């Protein structure tokens, strides 16, 4: 199984690192792809993360079972404005692959026309934009899975978000295997 996390300047740190870590614990091959290349990316709280590859190079190594969009206002804005992200997301949706977005990340789904008619959630700070688009049914659940689309609310839901991705890709048994060593309360 392979996952691609798209990382842009201004991404939220926890929403980036927690899914990467949890998926790797579940033996999923995760590639962190930098939107602007392999240069270190400064996240929303000034944590610096070095991508594994550029988006361009990572795409050549696809297909991926899941594409992950972290939030963070600046990061989501950068993902929303990137034509490369739009192409990756549309290809994933067209092949009925899984797309997962957390916090402000779902605004990139909106910008690229992904998930029309689906039920989603997001950070409360961007909910009106998503609701007013008329493109989605909005939920305030902590994690929402509607078919191949997984969305979540913010940093405090990052573990639940990541575990939903793991369960979708590898089943409940894998979730039950990786939760105890992390001392998570689920």
Instruction: Give the catalytic positions in this structure.
Output: 103, 123
Which single residue is written with the structure tokens 């990756």?
88
């Amino acid at each position: 199984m392979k996952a691609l996390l798209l990382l842009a300047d201004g991404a939220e740190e926890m929403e980036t690192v927690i899914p990467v870590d949890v998926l790797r614990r579940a033996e999923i091959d995760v590639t962190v792809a930098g939107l602007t290349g392999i240069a270190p990316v400064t996240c929303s709280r000034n944590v610096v993360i070095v991508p594994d590859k550029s988006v361009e190079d990572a795409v050549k190594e696809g297909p991926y079972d899941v594409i992950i969009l972290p939030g963070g206002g600046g990061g989501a804005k950068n993902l929303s404005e990137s034509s490369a992200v739009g192409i990756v997301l549309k290809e994933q949706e067209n092949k009925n692959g899984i797309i997962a977005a957390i916090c402000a990340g779902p605004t990139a789904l909106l910008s690229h026309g992904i998930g029309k008619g689906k039920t989603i959630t997001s950070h409360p700070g961007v909910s009106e934009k998503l609701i007013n688009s008329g493109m989605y049914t909005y939920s305030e659940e902590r994690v929402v899975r509607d078919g191949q689309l997984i969305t979540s609310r913010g940093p405090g839901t990052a573990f639940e978000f990541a575990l939903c991705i793991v369960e979708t890709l590898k089943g409940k048994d894998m979730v039950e295997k990786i939760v105890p060593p992390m001392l998570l309360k689920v």
